[in-house]
Amino acid sequence: GQKGSPLTFDSRAFVDAVATLTTDADADILLPTFDRVSDEPCPDRVRIRPTDRIVLVEGNYLLLDDPPWVELDHWIDAVAYLDVDRAVRVQRLVARHVHYGRSLDDANAFVHGSDERNTEVVEAVRHRAHLVISDTGR
């Protein structure tokens, strides 16, 4: 699948971890982070302990209505959608890719290719959000 698309995630493991957070009061949960320098996930970098009362999760695909993502509806109390002006989003993504080592040409190609296709997937399920936050870049 294309880089960053829903198919490139271990969505089953993520959904199971979120479910465990809400059903097993004694569980320590380990979740990965993403290293932008190596462009790879880093397993077991975040530990959520039973004493943690509020857990914030961020991700592009929390609102997908495809399995297993749709199961998150049972386990997450609320999902906010950050609506960023397209020009601002593109500018920020290109700058981020350049910051982490891509050339300007490669960053533009990636943002206008893979990132834009992934954005279309996310925008299609915006209506499922509990809250929409607008960011015009000002």
- pLDDT tens-place string over residues 63-82: 999 999 999 999 999 999 99
Global pTM?
Answer: 0.87
pLDDT of residue 8: 81
Q: Which helix (H) or strand (E) segment is 41 a member of?
A: strand 40-48
Q: What contacts 2, CB < 8 A, 6 or more positions away?
A: 8, 113, 114, 117, 118
81, 84, 85, 86: CA torsion to nearest 10: -90
Averaged pLDDT, 49-72 = 94
Q: With 70 as the cut, is the pLDDT of residue 1 above it?
A: no
Q: What angle do CA 40, 44, 45 make, to 5 degrees?
A: 75
Task: State the average pLDDT for the chain.
Answer: 92
Q: Which residues are paired to 105 by β-bridges?
A: none
Per the CB < 8 A criterion, the answer to whether 118 and 60 are in contact is: yes
Q: What angle do CA 82, 84, 86 make, to 5 degrees?
A: 145
Residue 37 has pLDDT above 70, yes or no: yes
Residue 52, pLDDT above cutoff 60: yes
State pLDDT tens for residues 78-119.
999 999 999 999 999 999 999 999 999 999 999 999 999 999
